[in-house]
Amino acid sequence: MTDLLKLSGVHTNIGRYHILQGVNFAVAEGKTTMLLGRNGAGKTTTLRTIMGLWPPSRGQIALAGQRIEQMATPDIAQLGVGYVPESMAVFADLTVKENLILAARDGPLDTARLEWIFGFFPALRKFWLSRAGLLSGGQKQMLSIARAIVEPRKLLLIDEPTKGLAPAIIGSLIECFAEIKRRGATILLVEQNFHVAQMIGDAVLVMDNGMIVHRGEMAALADDTPMQERLLGLSLEAHQ
């Protein structure tokens, strides 16, 4: 299995704060890698650094062997990186349709792919011509994810997709991620909900204080309660 994304000694400073302090990890092609950690560990900063929104002060980031740490955000996106930021990031003044058209940079919307998306997010079909600002929180999150997958991407960076959502909607999202995985997508997913993480993750990275403190198989961490408690201060049982 080849590595699609590789971070080597990445440091990121935001103002006077040194957030990422030498992050090293690789994301295997075709796998879903979960990035876990406490609040403030640097997970969101890691995704934003990969995306070029907060460029690294040191270190290397390679996508399919190509160095991207000096590239501008649009160039990184055009290499095939889809980004789903946290906080239900939709364009509120545009309709659901317009949000998706905007994301389909390679041309008109692919009808078959759209039907595939409607399969697990039927609400998007229902509110196709409604302004995205009028959608519920869960629907906005669905739209945000749909925007990232409306065209095939090499890599998906997804930041806390289940945050603040009702259990029923989380179920739809898990089904969606499972389907995206089946299509062979490579995903780096930040998640606080360990239950969700162990359901969809192949590999796991745990961050603390701006560094990776654990890497391994998701299934192994899910089976090791003492390790969960040591790394994350929680146990899977407590989240079930």
Partner 1 sequence: MIILSGDPPRSRALSILLIAIIVALAAVPFLFPGAKAMNVASKICIFAALVASYDLLLGYTGTVSFAHTMFYGIGSYAIAIALYGMGPSWAAIAVGIAVGLPLAALLALGIGLFSLRVEAIFFAMITLAVASAFLVLASQLSWLTGGEDGRSFQLPELLRPGTVFVKDFFGVSINGRTLTYYIVFFASAAMILGLLRVVNSPFGRVLQAVRENRFRAEALGYRTVFHLTYANCLAAVVAASAGVLNAMWLRYAGPDTSLSFAIMLDILLMVVIGGMGTMYGAVIGAAVFILAQNYLQALMGVASNAAAEAGLPLLPGLLHPDRWLLWLGLLFVASVYFFPTGIVGRLRGVTRPKS
Residues forming the site for partner 1 (CB under 8 A): 51, 53, 72-74, 77-78, 83, 85, 89-94, 98, 101-103, 105, 131, 133-134, 147
Pick from 104, 91, 97: nearest CA to 150: 104
CB of 90 or CB of 170, closer to partner 1 = 90
Work out how close the CB of 58 gets to partner 1 at its nearest, in angstroms, rounded to a whole number: 22
Work out how close the CB of 176 gets to partner 1 at its nearest, in angstroms, rounded to a whole number: 19
CB of 37 or CB of 82, closer to partner 1 = 82
Work out how close the CB of 191 gets to partner 1 at its nearest, in angstroms, rounded to a whole number: 19
CB of 134 or CB of 213, closer to partner 1 = 134
CB of 89 or CB of 199, closer to partner 1 = 89
Work out how close the CB of 141 gets to partner 1 at its nearest, in angstroms, rounded to a whole number: 14
Work out how close the CB of 73 gets to partner 1 at its nearest, in angstroms, rounded to a whole number: 4
Work out how close the CB of 35 gets to partner 1 at its nearest, in angstroms, rounded to a whole number: 18
Pick from 231, 201, 239, 235: nearest CA to 219: 201
CB of 128 or CB of 238, closer to partner 1 = 128
CB of 101 or CB of 234, closer to partner 1 = 101
Residues 6+ apart with CB under 8 A from 20: 10, 11, 12, 42, 45, 46, 49, 56, 210, 211
Chain centroid to Cα 179, Å, comes to 15
Q: How far is Cα 239 from Cα 216, in angstroms, rounded to an integer?
A: 21
Work out how close the CB of 216 gets to partner 1 at its nearest, in angstroms, rounded to a whole number: 30
Pick from 203, 183, 187, 202: nearest CA to 145: 187
CB of 56 or CB of 201, closer to partner 1 = 56
Beta-sheet strands, E only, within the chain? 3-14, 17-28, 32-37, 58-63, 66-67, 81-84, 155-159, 186-190, 203-208, 211-217
Where does residue 112 rank: exposed (0-12), middle (13-18), buried (19+ CB within 10 A)? exposed
Where does residue 97 rank: exposed (0-12), middle (13-18), buried (19+ CB within 10 A)? middle
Q: How far is Cα 193 from Cα 116, in angstroms, rounded to an integer?
A: 26
